[in-house]
Amino acid sequence: MDVDLRKLRYFVAVAEELHFGRAAQRLHIAQPVLSRQIRALEHELGVQLFARDRRSTVSTEAGRQLLEDARPLLASAEALHRRVRRAAHGRPTFTIAFMPGIIVTAESRALAARHPDLTVGVVRTSWNDQVEVVREGRADVSYVRLPVDQRGLRLRPLFSEPRVVVLPADHRLSGKESIDLVELVEERLLQDPDAVPEWRDLPNRSAEPNPLARPALHSVEEKLEHVAAYGGVAVLPLSTATFYTRPDVTHVPVDDLAPNQVCLAWAEGNPSPLVEEFAEIAAARYAEVTVLAGNREEADETLGDR
């Protein structure tokens, strides 16, 4: 059976909205047209995807499974479309996605030096879209911070770094050399707890008065604004916290937080040999950085013994 990508897009919109009217508005089509397309898809698959009554729309088990499989399929199709369009323009391109605190200048220059006819570009991502950029073909590779949904991806570990808590500059814990996570038990975490699972598992943590009121923050800048305004605390990788310097916030190491792992990610279906070449460049660069850091630490210890 051939899968109609248009019907799949319609299905995903309904499955995410769980409301045919809102889904139709999102897709800019009439609701009766959307309903007919979903019924046609159910007929083709031989299953019921939604249970509907006058008050609600609920995904069936088959619908939930299709949603899980449809998202990466649609992203892969979009990535294919983007690669074909880029190829049609003649000059080859390679796009590198990076997160705040991660600098990719050395790697991008190294790849450009090896391929003078290649246009190398960069795109900034966030926690929310760090893997979607490669699934959708907006970037060839992406520097990602674990954990991520690894379906349809290949990952190359690069380095790890400590995580710190970002606090208002005059916070009671400000200026401490380090703290344990339990010392933050009464604080309000501005992030989704899934991003900091150690926080979620803290014993005796007070329930938030209204967990649904957690603000939807999509950038580091937004998190820092809320921290500075006493809206809560944020846990960030050390490089991200030090990249954004401002006088009204500070950061403190947290001893019992596991380091943040940074990997290079790319789509399994990306056939470009440049991806593997760039992965080798990135891995070699961070191996060199690790060696240099180790040599500095060894030199510091030697000087300290004198």
CA distance 26 to 13: 7
Say if 82 falls within a structural domain.
no
Instruction: Based on the fold, state whether residues 178 and 293 are members of the same structural domain.
Output: no
Q: Which domain holds residue 43?
A: 5-76
Q: pTM of the predicted model, to two decimals?
A: 0.66
Instruction: Based on the fold, state whether residues 148 and 222 are members of the same structural domain.
Output: no
Q: Which of 23, 41, 76 is the last residue of a domain?
A: 76
| pLDDT tens string 34-64 | 898 899 898 889 999 999 887 889 999 999 9
Is the pLDDT reported for residue 238 higher than 90? yes
| Banded pLDDT at 166 (limits 50, 70, 90) | very high
Instruction: Based on the fold, state whether residues 69 and 182 are members of the same structural domain.
Output: no
**Residue 49 sits in a domain of what CATH number?**
1.10.10.10
Instruction: Based on the fold, state whether residues 118 and 181 are members of the same structural domain.
Output: no
The DSSP string of the chain is ----HHHHHHHHHHHHHS-HHHHHHHHTS-HHHHHHHHHHHHHHHTS--EEE-SS-EEE-HHHHHHHHHHHHHHHHHHHHHHHHHHHHTSS-EEEEEE-TT---HHHHHHHHHH-TT-EEEEEE--TTTTTHHHHTTS-SEEEEESS---TTEEEEEEEEE-EEEEEETT-TTTT-S-B-GGGGTTSPB-S-GGGSHHHHT-TTPPPPS-GGGS----SHHHHHHHHHTTS-BEEEEHHHHHHS--TTEEEEEBTTSPPEEEEEEEETT---HHHHHHHHHHHHHHHHHHHHHHHHHHHHHHHHT-
The pLDDT of residue 215 is 75
| pLDDT tens string 179-227 | 999 998 888 889 887 778 888 777 766 555 445 466 778 788 999 999 9
Instruction: Based on the fold, state whether residues 52 and 198 are members of the same structural domain.
Output: no
| pLDDT tens string 104-161 | 999 999 999 999 999 999 999 988 889 989 988 889 999 999 988 888 899 999 999 9
Is the pLDDT reported for residue 98 higher than 60? yes
Instruction: Based on the fold, state whether residues 145 and 173 are members of the same structural domain.
Output: no
Instruction: Based on the fold, state whether residues 191 and 240 are members of the same structural domain.
Output: yes
Range in 5-14, 16-25, 197-206 with the lowest mean pLDDT:
197-206
Ranked by mean pLDDT, the top range of 85-94, 242-251, 293-302 is 242-251
Say if 11 falls within a structural domain.
yes
Mean pLDDT of the residues in the chain:
85
Q: Which of 44, 76, 108 is the last residue of a domain?
A: 76
Q: Which of 49, 76, 103 is the last residue of a domain?
A: 76
Instruction: Based on the fold, state whether residues 295 and 168 are members of the same structural domain.
Output: no
Instruction: Based on the fold, state whether residues 278 and 132 are members of the same structural domain.
Output: yes
- Number of domains comprising the chain: 3
